[in-house]
Structure 1
Amino acid sequence: MLSNVLLALSVLSVCLSGARGGKVLVFPVDGSHWLNMRVIIEELHSRGHSITVVRASNSWHIKKDSPYYTSHTIEMGPYQDYVVDELASTLLQLRMEGRSFFNDMTLGNSVVERFSEMHRDICTMVATIFEDENLMRSLRDAKYDLVLTDPAFGGGVFLARRLQLPMVFNVRWTVHGEAHFAIAPSPLSYVPFPGAELTDKMTFSKRVSNIIAFTISQSMHKKMTDAHYTALCKRFFGPDVDYFSLFQDADIWLMRNDFTFEFPRPTMPNVVYMGGFQCKPARPLPVDLEEFVQSSGEHGVIIMSLGTLFAELPSVITEEIAAAFAQLPQKVIWRYTGAKPSTLGNNTLLVDWMPQNDLLGHAKTKVFVAHGGTNGIQEAIYHGVPILGLPLVFDQPDNLSRMVARGTSKVVDIATLDRAVFVESLKEVLYEPSYRENMQRLSRIHHDQPMKPLDRVIFWIEFVMRNGGAPHLRTQSFRMSWIAYHSIDVILTLLMALLLLLLIMFLAIKKCCSLLFRKKVKSE
């Protein structure tokens, strides 16, 4: 009898949850960005919401079928594999040649060309959606509550505008760079621009570098996006709509960082910080992996992963890394898919995949050797594990520079890496207690908040559902001209009024003096 009652209550709970559930249309970005979006999708699904994902037929990670969402698949040409592989290979080769002005410029041009192709293909995908009358009718008839999208590419922004739906961003980057610079005041005097590898404490020369980095980056981003998105915007929304203003109309910006990682800076009411939202307590390891970890004894374990793009490195690098690991008493778990290095020691286990979060949360893990991707850094902060950074491309050098500034990480340049340098760097992070102490302090700060980041994410998404958007939180500053925003017109008007007043006073005094002089002459 009791079991029947419990079953009935469970069914009723599910039904009521479904009745309260909203309908979310998701336009994601592939690659590591999808890993973040998937966490939110799964959580929304668990709370009774209905999710629909718009995906390209050549998606890298976004599957057509899932227990958590239904999907609309848009037929696209097979561009992604070769573009991503070629871009990664080019960037890695240039990085191995060392940091120089020429290499950085070549690196920038390679990034612009490849990402321009990706933005072009996203625009093609959006145009295909808009021209498919049956699909658009289906999307309108579904009566979604909002569009959830990642604005690193602009497809979801245009779709939300076309369907006239509220929009929530899962964001760190927009098509023009770091998201804060699109929505919040960002004084370059103390807000370091990502890529400049600076802190919020800048000398005059560093402030010059910061402004130069910002100017070059903005030029590069516009070069790879403006032509594609302007043409798409003009075609479907008319010549008077600036495409980037569509981004700035987003209701809520769910920012994939927080101030354990970010330097203090101005923000906006509709920016919600969710750094580490994908992190979770460690689960038990598989039996074979747990046995390997426990065999490390008092020395502990080092784990190494360079993300999805760089699971394989040139042999000249892997031989040096493997030889360095072999000199240490610690056990090593290395996510690596290439040929086995000849210098590999008995203490090192190569794996195609590893439960990174669970290993970082294990008591025996001492150091995380990482490329500096945002996800990995957030997990290391969550579990309090210091980092030996091996930055390769994109935002990784800047991410790691922020951790170095906090005393939680040390960085090795891949261009100068050899076994001696790598061993010494590892020993420093392993045996200098300040690295672990500083990272554990950051971890305590991250955990010391009244609400879990993922719960905060879901609250604000549901807030937009309940209220049909959040226009009361959107700033109007981006609708103002540069002159009006900085009150230059007001300042000039007041200065002119002051000058006019001074001129009138001068003329009046001059006139009075003239009249007094005339009266004095007549009286004599």
Structure 2
Amino acid sequence: MTPFSKNMVSVSLWITVVVLFGSLCDGGKILVVPLEGSHWVNMDILIKALHGQGHSIDVIRTYNSWFVKENSTYYNSITIPNTKGMDEEFVEDMISKTIDHERGKSHWLSTVQLFLDVVSDMYEMHKMICQLITNMFESEEIMKALKEKQYDLMLTDPVWGAGIFLAHKLKLPMVYNVRWTTTGEGHFNIASSPMSYIPITGSGNTDKMNFVQRVKNVFHYFLMAFQYSYFNLPQYQALCDKYFHPPVNFYELLQGADIWLMRVDFVFEFPRPTMPNIIYIGGFQCKPAKALPHDLEDFMQSSGEHGVIIMSLGSFISALPDDLTTEIATAFAQLPQKVIWRYTGKRPSTFGNNTLLVDWMPQNDLLGHPKTNVFIAHGGTNGVQEALYHGIPVVGIPFFFDQYDNLLRLQERGGAKIVSIATLDKNTLHAAIQEVINEPSYRLSMQRLSHLHRDKPVKPLDSALFWIEFVMRHKGAAHLRTESYKLPWYSYYSVDVAVTLFAVVLIFSLSIFLTVRYMCVKCCSRKRKTE
């Protein structure tokens, strides 16, 4: 047996022991502060798995929480009264602004105006979270109950700052379920991120950039820094100054998590520097497909040799403008394939007989079905990773945030075709679908990525559970955390060292110059006296 085979056997035995005999950590108490939407969808998977390991889970929620239900069989909810969170109306307004801008219906809405609208929306979202933090900290009853629980761990999504505040207040070790933080893409907070080959979200760049693209990358970096430094972070810093004594820097609290469970892997992400406390769990929500309900299975089989296309625009997008859905439905009606479209808005007038409209669908199971040919998606991380896991090529229709960048990563690897909202109509959508179906390279590329993604010694979910329990067993993971985030910027970039060395070289060179000059003057003076 080769060393590689022995290692694989050892890993398999380890996983088997965990599965058969349960958690390697006694049942602990975990406090969870999640995010809404698709972020909750994958946090929910972690919570279920932790509950299955024998841990007790408490989840913080607002009274109007969109996704986090008050009653559950695998977690206890803690509802913060008189605290409003992000809801459907808030998200629908953001989507409407984006669509109107992209399609040119609001001519007055320039790119600058759209940027300012996004900044304003993000400001309001974090303002809601700051109010949540204030309501918790001002309530003696809530804080007393949380302290009495004596939690072992804080598990949170750092896009919102509430979990970070609670972890510091309750002195809990902290684990992130993370891709984004309050300041942008998570890697930028703790790992070196050279802008020469690491694209900034929204720049439309890949890891291969020419000079003009690098200039654009730097511009987007400063744009991102401006947004977060002047609109988001000050809100949280004001609460740090109010509630923590001695005062602490919020950005240091954000950087100080013990483990970062990063929801990507390097089959999907562009290679970049990382840190030992970043654990890559991309695709942890993916699993082999299960049998479909009879009605869906019958529909799939009725597609014959042409197969099926499935479309879902994620948990946030529930409705689209009528003229846009008419174009989409018309494109579908022209296809020989059957289509399953998850959509809860008004039924389009051009709806074809080959299309099935559903409120919900078992997306993972459909993607794993042998009849599925193409996945039409908005580009959310969960969806593109499920497509990658099952090797299904993607036609991407990005709307906002990181969706274009996610799809760009698949497109660069040959597994996706992007159609922008600005150009989306029946012709462009139909042409993109036909290209992805008829050109074998798309499916072959996704299948190759799928093989790479699955070829791992430990499943991503098992890795996530291990590291969460690791932090609980050892009361943190300080030995894996870099101290770099505590350094001022001039020390981090060694500007002080460079200035000091430059000064030493300058003084030494000047000293030599002045000494030589003095000696030359002396020699010339003696020569004149002799003459």
TM-score by length of 1: 0.93
Mapping of 1:104-503 within 5 angstroms? 104-238=111-245, 240-503=247-510
Partner Cα distance (1:413, 1:16) in 2: 47
The offset of 1:519, in angstroms, is 5.8
Partner of 1:9: none
Q: Which amino acid aligns with 1:168?
A: V
Q: Which amino acid aligns with 1:164?
A: K
Q: Cα deviations across residues 198-239 of structure 1 (Å, max 9, x unaligned)?
A: 111100000010011111122123343133212211110148
CA 259–118 in structure 1, closer or farther in 2 if over 3 Å, else same: same
Partner Cα distance (2:175, 2:46) in 1: 12
Decide whether the 8 Å contact of 1:14 with 1:48 is kept in 2. no
CA 16–316 in structure 1, closer or farther in 2 if over 3 Å, else same: closer
The offset of 1:518, in angstroms, is 5.7
Q: How many residues are treated as equivalent by the alignment?
A: 512
TM-score by length of 2: 0.92
CA 101–389 in structure 1, closer or farther in 2 if over 3 Å, else same: farther
Which of 67, 77, 101 lines up with 1:71 in the alignment?
A: 77
Which of 40, 44, 47 lines up with 1:41 in the alignment?
A: 47
Decide whether the 8 Å contact of 1:282 with 1:357 is kept in 2. yes
Decide whether the 8 Å contact of 1:112 with 1:223 is kept in 2. no
Where 2:422 maps in the other structure, the secondary structure is helix
Partner Cα distance (1:499, 1:101) in 2: 56
Partner Cα distance (2:437, 2:110) in 1: 33
Q: Cα deviations across residues 399-427 of structure 1 (Å, max 9, x unaligned)?
A: 11221111111111222222122111110
The offset of 1:137, in angstroms, is 2.0
Partner Cα distance (1:504, 1:287) in 2: 89
Where 2:517 maps in the other structure, the secondary structure is helix
Q: Which amino acid aligns with 2:440?
A: P
Q: Which amino acid aligns with 1:180?
A: H
CA 518–214 in structure 1, closer or farther in 2 if over 3 Å, else same: closer
Q: Which amino acid aligns with 1:405?
A: E
Matched, 1:26 2:32: yes
CA 503–67 in structure 1, closer or farther in 2 if over 3 Å, else same: same
The offset of 1:78, in angstroms, is 4.7
Q: Which amino acid aligns with 1:162?
A: K
CA 127–290 in structure 1, closer or farther in 2 if over 3 Å, else same: same
- Percent identity reads 54
Decide whether the 8 Å contact of 1:25 with 1:51 is kept in 2. yes
The offset of 1:273, in angstroms, is 0.8
Partner Cα distance (1:218, 1:106) in 2: 18
**Structure 1 portions without partners, runs of 5+:** 1-12
Q: Which amino acid aligns with 2:67?
A: H
Partner Cα distance (2:114, 2:258) in 1: 35
Partner Cα distance (1:68, 1:355) in 2: 21
Q: Which amino acid aligns with 1:447?
A: R
CA RMSD after TM alignment: 2.1
Partner Cα distance (1:98, 1:406) in 2: 33
Q: Which amino acid aligns with 1:36?
A: N
Partner Cα distance (1:53, 1:349) in 2: 36
Residue range with higher mean Cα deviation, 398-407 or 262-271: 398-407
